[in-house]
Chains A and B, each alone.
Chain A
Amino acid sequence: MYNFEFVKPSSIAEAVKALAEEGAQPLSGGQTLIPTLKQRLNQPDMLVSLTGIAEMKGVKAEGGALVIGGATPHAVVAAEAAAQYPALAALAGNIGDPAVRNRGTIGGSLANNDPSACYPSAALASGATIVTDRREIAADDYFQGMFATALEEGEIITAVRLPIPQKAAYVKFNQPASRFALTGVFVAKYADGVRVAITGASNDGVFRWTEAEEALSANFAPEALEGLSLSGDNMISDLHGTGAYRAHLCKVLTKRAVAAA
């Protein structure tokens, strides 16, 4: 890996200031970024660690929503969101493996927006608000394709606000080598309707399956999805599965998520 300067600020303000430098990049848990650096696919001049910023850590309930600090590791979300938002806690508790969950963070996962990562589906299905150092972004505007987000250069996710649903479940078809989702579906039922977000399927990254949302909003039961289907045309095709296979999984996993919610 190429060398870089390492800084570890203790406040959001200091981090933002450090990130204004040419060639500076944020580092959260590093569970994706460090392997990427080792492959020399990225060459920052400076890494600004966000793991020492106390105001970016923790899980708290606030007016029917969970507010999770951007630098909160998955293991902490798994433990501290369990009472109020069990589907989210279960998702966090199945990311990667225990050692990865102790370092990887929710903000890092959302900023990276890997097309097969778990958290983007939870944020999109929950209609979450992505809180950054300079603004708030609705999840519907935030995810902009594979590894693409609304974040600007040097902008950091300080917190994520997820409205707590009446019922929810995430079902992940595990890719056992990477432990990412081969395909994963998050279903969340709110008073004003159902939201369904799918990861690990589309070439455009996480997306909402709006036809399923309409059907489930009318009748929240697995049978409501009979007759619906997704096209495999713009789905990820790789050695683990074809686009058509993933399209099929989307429906199967949505049904399972509804049954489990």
Chain B
Amino acid sequence: MAKVSMTVNGKSVSGEVEGRTLLSTFLREGLGMTGTHVGCDTSQCGACVVHIDGKAVKSCTTFAQDVAGAEVRTIEGMANADGSLSTIQQAFQDHHGLQCGFCTPGMVMSAAALLADNPKPTEAEVRHHLEGNICRCTGYHNIVKAVLAASGQDVGQIAAE
């Protein structure tokens, strides 16, 4: 076991981990932050996406000790300071960008990384960016719509499907 320290959602945290402890395991089981979901555990589905030093990564395919000292941001750090939903989260609610909600933490984190780099993406860019996030409920249409809406673009002309 080794001690690992990092900053998660602005707060310094530390814990004892093994060499094989994944970042997703450390967040969920070490820190009790179960907002980060583990879907496939093979880095296909993207439910476990978090930000490490501002970059979206799959926390199920990253060792906790490899990101010691990093700034980690998870879905628990996405809401506004007063507890209200952030723009992206609110857009997912407004546009029905989720059904069962399992993939949503990863979708929101991936969308946030996209909008940080590219504040006004096209629909094609949103779809390309979300290739590593799999949703088995929505068919993606409303997720894409929510991301476009969160970027401040008019989605009134996009038909609901």
Which residues of A approach B to under 8 Å, CB–CB? 1-6, 8, 27, 30-31, 34-35, 37-38, 46-47, 49, 51, 75, 96-100, 102-103, 177, 179
Contacts and interface: CB of A to CB of B under 8 A. Distances in A.
B57 interface: yes
B43 A35 contact: yes
A100 B43 contact: yes
B148 interface: no
B120 to A, nearest CB: 17
A6 B46 contact: no
Contacts of B62: 30, 34, 103
A30 B66 contact: yes
B129 interface: yes
Contacts of A5: 19
The 9 closest A-B pairs by CB, nearest first: A97-B132, A6-B19, A102-B55, A97-B131, A4-B19, A6-B65, A34-B61, A99-B58, A99-B56
A98 B43 contact: no
B20 A31 contact: no
B106 to A, nearest CB: 9
A35 B65 contact: no
Contact of B132 (A37, A47, A99): A99
B63 interface: yes
Interface in B46-92: 46, 49, 52, 55-58, 61-63, 65-66, 68
Contacts of A100: 43, 58, 61, 132
Interface SS, A side? mixed
B61 to A, nearest CB: 5
A103 B58 CA distance: 9
B66 A6 contact: yes
Nearest to A35: B42
Contacts of B44: 177
A49 B49 CA distance: 21
A3 B18 contact: yes
A75 B53 CA distance: 14
A49 B43 CA distance: 19
A45 to B, nearest CB: 10
Contacts of A1: 20
15 contacts: A6-B20, A30-B61, A34-B61, A35-B61, A75-B55, A96-B132, A97-B132, A98-B110, A98-B113, A98-B114, A99-B49, A99-B58, A102-B55, A177-B44, A179-B132
A3 B129 CA distance: 33
Nearest to B109: A99
Contacts of A4: 19-20
Contacts of B43: 31, 34-35, 99-100
Contacts of B49: 99
A37 B20 contact: yes
A51 B110 contact: no
A46 B63 CA distance: 13
A8 B66 contact: yes
Nearest to B64: A6
B65 A2 contact: no
